[in-house]
């Protein structure tokens, strides 16, 4: 290509990026994918012998993209939930913080895809919020179960030497036994992990 022509192309490109405004319907900017869907709606209307309506076509595109946003955000949230479950047990405040982050990230994923005004997007966003909120109960229950499992195993391991001494009648006085109990508690509290209520309940069970 001649240098003059290439220079004109560069100028045209700059002008397009500088001056061209994004396509918008009812004040809502349309993404490239949304524009393609909008054109599909027009083609379908023409092929069916109908006069295409921008408003009707846009409503259909918006509903379709919002559903896609809901579906993809749900998949994202489920994957985040699985990742969170793999990290259990953990303290309740840490778990609550992780659940809040999961919801924030899922809603951000939804917003990055959804198209349409607030009235079109609202119901889909609320559906996603309800789905993510429903994770809390099962996650809390699983955290408690895994805390109990891990802490019982830890307590049993720490209790084993004391049990052997008791069976062998090695304690000469109460002070020796109390010293070992205190040491048992210290090691348990230092190494136990999970929600405090279950951690303390398991400790009480062994004492």
CA atoms within 13 A on the CB side of 201: 11
User: What percent of the chain is predicted at pLDDT more than 70?
Assistant: 95
Cβ distance 32 to 40 under 8 Å? no
In the predicted model, is pLDDT for residue 27 greater than 90?
no
Confidence of residue 3 (pLDDT cuts 50, 70, 90): confident
pLDDT in tens, 142-186: 999 999 999 999 999 999 999 999 999 998 889 999 999 999 999
* DSSP type of residue 169: T
| pLDDT, the chain, mean | 90
Gyration radius from the chain CA atoms: 31
Confidence of residue 85 (pLDDT cuts 50, 70, 90): very high
Confidence of residue 28 (pLDDT cuts 50, 70, 90): low
In the predicted model, is pLDDT for residue 195 greater than 80?
yes
């Amino acid at each position: 290509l001649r240098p003059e022509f290439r220079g004109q192309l560069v100028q045209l490109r700059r002008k397009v990026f500088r001056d061209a405004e994004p396509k918008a319907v009812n004040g809502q900017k349309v993404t490239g994918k949304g524009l393609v869907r909008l054109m599909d709606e027009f083609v379908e209307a023409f092929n069916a012998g109908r006069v295409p309506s921008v408003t009707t076509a846009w409503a259909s595109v918006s509903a379709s993209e919002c559903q896609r946003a809901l579906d993809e955000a749900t998949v994202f949230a489920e994957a985040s939930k699985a990742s969170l479950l793999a990290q259990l047990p953990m303290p309740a405040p840490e778990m609550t913080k992780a659940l809040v982050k999961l919801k924030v990230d899922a809603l951000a994923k939804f917003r990055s895809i959804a198209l349409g005004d607030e009235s079109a997007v609202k119901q889909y966003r609320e559906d996603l919020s309800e789905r993510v909120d429903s994770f809390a109960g099962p996650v809390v229950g699983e955290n408690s179960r895994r805390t109990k499992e891990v802490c019982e195993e830890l307590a049993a391991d720490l209790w084993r030497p004391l049990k052997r001494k008791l069976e062998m009648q090695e304690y000469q006085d109460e002070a020796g036994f109390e010293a070992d109990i205190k040491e048992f508690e210290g090691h348990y509290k230092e190494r136990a992990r999970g929600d405090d209520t279950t951690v303390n309940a398991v400790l009480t069970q062994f004492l």
